[in-house]
């Protein structure tokens, strides 16, 4: 899993979202940090990670 970390400022969040949505990786975690140091985690998983089973492979 790849991790992208960005602070909750408009420009950085926009860049982080573009990175988050366009990376050709199976799964990705986006960590957003607010001004108080709190982290918010968003995860993206590919169709294969989410729905694939041993029967489909």
Q: Give how many domains the chain has, as a whole number.
A: 1
| 57 domain residue, yes or no | no
| 44 domain residue, yes or no | yes
Which residue, chain included where needed, has tokens 């590919």? 46
Q: What is the pTM of this model?
A: 0.33
pLDDT at 32: 72
| 56 domain residue, yes or no | no
Domain residues for 30?
A: 2-51
Task: Of 27, 25, 24, give the one whose Cα is nearest residue 41.
Answer: 27
pLDDT at 56: 47
| 24 domain residue, yes or no | yes
User: How far, in Å, CA of 44 to CA of 34, rounded?
Assistant: 20
Q: What is the pLDDT of residues 1-57, one digit of tens each?
A: 455 555 555 555 666 666 656 655 556 666 777 777 777 776 665 545 444 555 444
pLDDT at 45: 57
């Amino acid at each position: 899993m790849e991790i992208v970390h960005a602070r909750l400022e408009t420009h950085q969040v926009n860049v982080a979202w573009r990175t988050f949505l366009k990376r050709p990786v199976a799964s990705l975690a986006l960590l957003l940090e607010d001004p108080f140091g709190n982290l918010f985690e968003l995860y993206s998983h590919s169709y294969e990670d989410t729905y694939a089973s041993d029967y489909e492979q």
